[in-house]
Structures are given as C-alpha cells and as structure tokens.
Amino acid sequence: MPPANSFKSSRAEEEQCYPLVLELCQKCGNLQLQYCVDEKELFNQYFYITPDSPSLRSHYEFLVRYMFDETYLAPDSFVVEIGSNIGRFLLHLKDNPGVRRVLGVDPAQNVCALARKEGIETICAFFDGAVADVISREHGPAQIIVARHCCAHNKNPHLILKGVHNLLADDGYFVMENAYALNTLQNNEFDQIYHEHMFYYMIRSVQKLFELNDLSLVDIAIVPIHGGSIIFFAQKKKKGRAANPSVETYSRIEAELMGDGLLRDFVDNTENIGNRVKEIVTDVNNNKKSIWAYGATAKGSTLLNYLKIDYHEIPYCVDSTSIKHGKFLPMANIEIVPEEYAWSEPPDYFLLTAWNYKTEIISKVRSKGNSKSRFIVPIPQVTIEE
Ligand code: TYD
C-alpha cells in the first residue's frame, strides 16, 4: 500500500508502496505495524488539516470540561499540545479560566504556519526529549501535555514519553487520546489501518508503555469521536493520585472482550464488508449510475486500495480541505474536488469514506439542496442511506 495521506499532484506521479501488515504482541497485547515507514517521509508536508466540524467541537468541549471538572486542569496552567496541527484544540482551550498559556508542537511546516496565523504559538518539530528540554528551559514545566491521535504515529513512542516525562510538572497530567483498538476491532474499522497508524492501543499495552516511562494511568474516558476513541490520563508515578475506578472497570471489560474470536471475526468481517462494497460499486457502474467518494480520508485510501477501486469506477472525491483539491488519492488516482460539487451537480451515490462524520455530512448535503445522492456507508456494516 502507498502511505494513505500521500496525495499526488498528477495521476502519472509514481507512488512508493510499502508492506501494510498488522501484528499482535503476545507479551503486552499491543497491535502494531510490522513495517514502519520513515516519519520524515510521512509527515513533512502533511495534508491532514483538522476539519471544522460540529462533532469535533463538541468533543473538544467535553474534553476541556472533563479536564476541568476532574481537576486535571489546575488554575493558571501552561498547556502543551503534541501534534497540534492547525491549533483547533488549543484555540478552543486557550480562553478557559484554568489556562495561562498554550503552546503547540507539530512536525509539518505547512500546518504550523496555519496555526501561527490563527495566533497559536507552535514549534515545528517531532516532539522528543530534546524538544521537551528546550520548551522546559524557555517556558517552564507544563501542567498539561495533550497528545490527540498522534502517539500512534511514531514508531518509537518511548521518545515521545521521555519528552513528556521531562516536560511535565511533577503535579501535571499527560492526556493521550487515540483510536481505541477494541472499538476498531468491534466496529470492523479495518480502514483505520494505514502506515501513519503504527500502533493500535489497548489499555493493557498503554499501561505497560506508561510504566516503562515512569508514568502511571489515573483515568480513562471512552468517547465516540473517530469511530470510538479512548483518552488516557497519566501522572508521574511519584505523584501518587489514586486511579479512578474507570481504569479497573475498562481494563476488565477489555480483557473479557479481547480474545482470539474477536480478531478472527474482524478478519472475516473485513472480507465481507470489502466484498459487499466492491459489489455495490460494480453494480452502480454497470447500471450507468454515477458514484463519487465523500471525504479524502486516510481511511478512504485503505478502503479503496484494498478493494482495488480506482478512478475508472469512482472519478471524484469531494472534500472540504482546500489544500487537497486538485490532488489525487494515492493509487486509486481519484481526483479530489471541493465539497461544493456535492450540491451543484451531485452523483447518484456517494461512497462515504468519511463515515465517522456520517450524520453531519448527510445533513449538510441535504441542507444544501442535494436530495438526490444516496450514501453507501461502509463501516461498521454496509448500509445505503437514503
Ligand atoms: P478524518 O476522518 O479525520 O480522516 P482520516 O481518515 O484522514 O484520519 O478526516 C475527515 C476528512 O473529511 C477531511 O479530509 C475533511 C473531510 N470532511 C469533509 O469533506 N466534510 C465534512 O463535513 C467533514 C466533517 C470532513
């Protein structure tokens, strides 16, 4: 597979392909990629721009309120976000009464520039021990370090956690949010597997990871965003705040639900969903109906390339991110066009490659006057929404 976010400037441009193999660690229960693509290749010019979405906004609201109510966010906090992208979360957080100042860290030049334009101070770097030391020297220790959907993007998470330990105030908290592997498996989200996602975290494996880095897990929140995510709250071991009962409860549930059966079902369901989507797309084409994709997501690259669907069957993919427009999905070679195309001359069907935003995308499309297109939703089961 090519890296899922490596959008191309033309169909003729060759893509680099790498093995995409998921393995299970028998020691700690971690799911991880067998082969990791060099991070510099994956993230230097990055096309993922956090969308402005109502479900993300309400998720940010939940997280900020939770950190405040559970006293993770202390008064006058200095908050650092790793993988801050264009700074949407920090923009949301910065006016909270508990926050003194915020600082983002992100390795992609283009997104750092956009964050700074919004007034979010951002350091352009891969976060590690050395970057943490520079921040600590210049700004002092952080009360909160947030890492949302980025720790799985580094083949050596110990480098991040070493930095977290160096930068975190002794009474501070590390807040790590990721897709939850249990949900990924239960909801048949095989399209979440791509090179940028090197790890698929379980509570059991994260606990081990934290322990190896002198951190301890104090709390867990399970949230619906991105098809089911988990938020881990950790402290320095020596701080010694008692763990919230959620840690014990969710760990027990995870141990009960994880078993050979779940993985086997996941493999079977992947095949069944794949066959069904391929069949529908083929039928739509045979019946001379039009079909486009909705959402130039990394997930969409996995789905389309796994099914060997390309621009001959699906000519366009609409997306709200302007820097993706005019580019082509890797390997599938489908042209990315502005979302407005979805309401001016809409196709008969959309394959909803951004299924995690299903409700808001369908209601947006309808509110723009498109009552024609039907939506093929691939995950968790294939459905066709009128
Ligand atoms: P996301 O689901 O975060 O994807 P990934 O699989 O890449 O992690 O990205 C959502 C994509 O969908 C992003 O490119 C923006 C696009 N999008 C729209 O086009 N319209 C919308 O209303 C929303 C919410 C997202």
Contacts 24+ apart (CB under 8 A), 222-225: 222/180, 222/250, 223/59, 223/62, 223/63, 223/177, 225/55, 225/56, 225/59, 225/356
Is residue 155 within a helix (H) or strand (E), and if so which, with residue range?
none
Ligand 1 centroid to Cα of residue 343, in Å, is: 17
Ligand 1 centroid to Cα of residue 179, in Å, is: 15
Ligand 1 centroid to Cα of residue 351, in Å, is: 13
pLDDT at 44: 63
Ligand 1 centroid to Cα of residue 150, in Å, is: 16
**Ligand 1 touching residue 48 (CB < 6 A):** yes
Give the Cα separation of 281 and 332 in Å (integer). Answer: 14
Contacts 24+ apart (CB under 8 A), 273-278: 273/188, 273/190, 273/378, 273/379, 273/381, 273/382, 274/190, 274/306, 274/307, 276/382, 277/303, 277/307, 277/351, 277/376, 277/378, 277/382, 278/307, 278/309
**Ligand 1 touching residue 298 (CB < 6 A):** yes
Task: Please list the helix, strand and coil fractions of the chain in percent, rounded to the nearest 5, in that order.
Answer: 40, 20, 40
pLDDT at 290: 98
* Token representation of residue 376: 């093929």
**Ligand 1 touching residue 219 (CB < 6 A):** no
pLDDT at 235: 98
Which atom of ligand 1 is found nearest the CA of 357?
24
**Ligand 1 touching residue 368 (CB < 6 A):** no
pLDDT at 34: 96
For atom 25 of ligand 1, which residue has the closest CA? 51
**Ligand 1 touching residue 122 (CB < 6 A):** no
CB proximity list for 30: less than 8 A, separation 6 or greater: 24, 199, 200, 201, 202, 205, 208
- The residue with tokens 């067998």 is 34
Ligand 1 centroid to Cα of residue 26, in Å, is: 34
Helices (H), 72-144: 88-93, 109-117, 129-139
Choose among 305, 324, 321, 325: nearest CA to 313.
305
**Ligand 1 touching residue 254 (CB < 6 A):** no
Ligand 1 centroid to Cα of residue 21, in Å, is: 24
pLDDT at 328: 98
Max Cα-Cα span within the chain: 66
pLDDT at 212: 96
Which atom of ligand 1 is found nearest the CA of 149?
8
Ligand 1 centroid to Cα of residue 357, in Å, is: 7
DSSP 3-state assignment of 341? helix
**Ligand 1 touching residue 47 (CB < 6 A):** no
Helices (H), 236-335: 245-257, 260-286, 298-306
Packed helices 54-69 and 358-367: angle between N→C axes, nearest 10 degrees: 140
Give the Cα separation of 105 and 376 in Å (integer). Answer: 37
Q: What are phi and psi of 318, to 5 degrees?
A: -90, 150
CB 289 within 8 A of CB 314: no
DSSP 3-state assignment of 89? helix
Ligand 1 centroid to Cα of residue 341, in Å, is: 16
pTM for the model = 0.91
Is residue 55 within a helix (H) or strand (E), and if so which, with residue range?
helix 54-69
Ligand 1 centroid to Cα of residue 13, in Å, is: 24
**Ligand 1 touching residue 320 (CB < 6 A):** yes
Helices (H), 140-259: 157-167, 181-186, 203-211, 245-257
Give the Cα separation of 317 and 351 in Å (integer). Answer: 9
pLDDT at 26: 86
Residue 157: is the preceding peptide bond cis (ω within 30°)?
A: no
pLDDT at 148: 97
Q: Amino acid identity, residue 241?
A: R
pLDDT at 197: 95
Pocket test for ligand 1, best of 321, 343, 359 (most atoms within 8 A of CB): 321
Query: One digit per residue, pLDDT tens: the chain, 386 residues?
Result: 999 999 999 999 999 999 999 999 888 888 999 999 988 788 766 778 898 989 999 999 999 999 999 999 988 999 999 999 999 999 999 988 889 999 999 998 889 999 999 999 999 999 999 999 999 999 999 999 999 999 998 889 999 999 999 999 999 999 999 999 999 999 999 999 999 999 999 999 999 999 999 999 999 999 999 988 999 999 999 988 999 999 999 999 999 998 768 999 999 999 999 999 999 999 999 999 999 999 999 999 999 999 999 999 999 999 999 999 999 999 999 999 999 999 988 999 999 999 999 999 999 999 999 999 999 999 999 999 98
* Token representation of residue 10: 């033309």
Give the Cα separation of 161 and 103 in Å (integer). Answer: 18
Choose among 39, 35, 41: nearest CA to 15.
41
Q: What are phi and psi of 118, to 5 degrees?
A: -85, 0
Which atom of ligand 1 is found nearest the CA of 194?
6
Ligand 1 centroid to Cα of residue 170, in Å, is: 37
CB 171 within 8 A of CB 142: no
Pocket test for ligand 1, best of 48, 337, 357 (most atoms within 8 A of CB): 357
